[in-house]
Structure 1
């Protein structure tokens, strides 16, 4: 089943999005494989995903394709020549931009605030090792949102990026901002989101905490030893009492 969804009406800037969803159905598994080709007068996005997660996107600033999959999952490779195809898709998108604006000019604008804001790291945290903080914003309309980052209470823009918002099936949008950073003990980061439907920015905080070794095995071994000693003590007590009675 191939569906195309065109969502273009925006308050801050107008974009054109084409969302292609292919439902791959088997006896046991249902997955959503989708692609997005979006553009504006000054920006654009081409992205492929699986089950609401990005598997490949075009980095037009550095003229290359990126595969932002975390290291702990099975890698999903993409074919060569995808970046060149993305460039052609952008040329087509921008040619049609004016026509789309005229077609959608009479659609009333509604404001829906983000329904969810999450902040998490791409990889397992190791102090002193490069990592990526991800700010995941979903459920808002219209697009885009404005995302800002702070480190220890100070605004930071170095190492930040944000994708073009992409539409969901319910007509709302999702947008992802990233911050490249090196975690150091005690550092505190925040991600703040601004949207016309919000009276004040929506903020989430993430703090670098030292990774503690697991204490589970030690606790269980300690409990086992304690129970064992209590059993020995009880057995000795009844043995002595039995000898006294005899």
Structure 2
């Protein structure tokens, strides 16, 4: 049956005020009390962060661990044991990591037959990076995906859902003072199908979340003032 088009009945909200570039990011309230939501540091829920142990990656690792994802930071990934490298489901390089080091890490992963997905950070913002890594790890729960697709362009985001479920959409942009702003775009339980969400022209990225699933999309130009890392 062809999906029906629908428009969420919410226009973009005013920004919630400046938040640090490393933004607040946490687990759902009470998640620690639910057995199935306890941290599961298996291969499917571990990420490798190649870069310095301070700054952005330190805050990112703390945020990921809070949401039940194991995160390790190192500059010695190329020399790690093969079994250790196979324990990760995703990895990301800090912008300060040069191409030679990136190549050495990729070669070590290939030699170990590791299947970690390499994520290229879209912007130096903790909630956005965490969402990218969660998307790379895949859904927490088996079965059909609730979020089938998310695309964005200046002025509009389009989301395809396969079942009725609570969905939250958040947009991000950076102002002239390089402060990151989060825009709550939608929080509700729409019917399955394709849905359109109007976006403020300033929105650079959109994150969609539902139970155990995350999708990230770029909306037009990168307003965060830094090019993606090479390699």
TM-score w.r.t. the length of structure 1 is 0.27
- The structure, 1 or 2, with the larger RCO (C-alpha pairs under 8 Å, 6+ apart) is 2
Which has the larger Rg? 1
